Amino acid sequence: MKTLILSISMILSGSISYADCSEWYKGSVRMSGGKVVEGSIRYCLDYDLVLLKKEEQVITLSPRKVDGFVVFDHTMEVPKSFHSLPFEGLNGYIRKCFFELLYHGRISLLNREYEILVAEDEEYFQALADKYYIMDEDGVVRDFSGSRKELLRYMKKKADSVSTFITEKQLDISQREDLMVVFSYYHSIQQ
């Protein structure tokens, strides 16, 4: 049985299509001025927007007005933390975007989910996939291709130890949990 994974965006527009904002989560938004507002939250990474519902009012917020937000993902039963960070796009223009923080440390692991279309035995369904980014020691967010060589470049003097750890533990750095384990290990040997 073969499974074919196609990005919806590749089919429709030729660019990555990020997860839509169809679900409300309980959470809080930290505004740029420092004020924290709790309520129901939808986040639309496709458009870099946060919708905040407080009582019967819905407010739409961009990364310029928000430092970050936290939602409780009831599917995974974990809180998810997002931050508004400057990012240089393909056109060289720097703008703030929302990134999920997966691991915070000297170098941080960030993520943006996007939708994919999975075809299996003539049936199609949507699923979420991860697109990873690394924030380096200088606070610059960079696209992460997922290659081991690129990852080890960020780990500089500890690259050999990290490479050995990945091999010994048989970690697949294309998988979220394994990549987080690698970051945790890297930071533990920095001490």
Q: How many CA atoms lie within 13 A of 182 on its CB side?
A: 32
Which residue in 137, 133, 167 sits closest to 151, CA to CA? 133
Task: Note down pLDDT in tens along the chain; length 191 residues.
Answer: 333 333 333 333 333 344 557 789 999 999 999 999 999 999 988 889 999 998 889 999 999 999 999 999 887 788 999 999 999 988 889 999 999 999 999 999 999 988 888 888 888 888 888 999 999 989 999 999 999 999 999 998 999 999 999 999 999 999 999 999 999 999 999 86
Which residue in 75, 154, 72, 66 sits closest to 110, CA to CA? 154
State how many domains the chain has.
Answer: 2
Question: What pTM was computed for the model?
Answer: 0.83
Residue 75 and residue 140 in one domain: yes
Range of the domain at 184: 146-191
Residue 121 and residue 166 in one domain: no
Residue 62 and residue 15 in one domain: yes
Residue 39 and residue 106 in one domain: yes
DSSP 97: E
Domain stop point among 144, 161, 176: 144
The pLDDT, as a whole number, for residue 125 is: 84
d(CA 141, CA 82): 14
Whether residue 114 contacts residue 137, with contact meaning beta carbons closer than 8 Å, is answered with: no
Residue 54 and residue 140 in one domain: yes
Residue 14 and residue 98 in one domain: yes
Residue 42 and residue 133 in one domain: yes
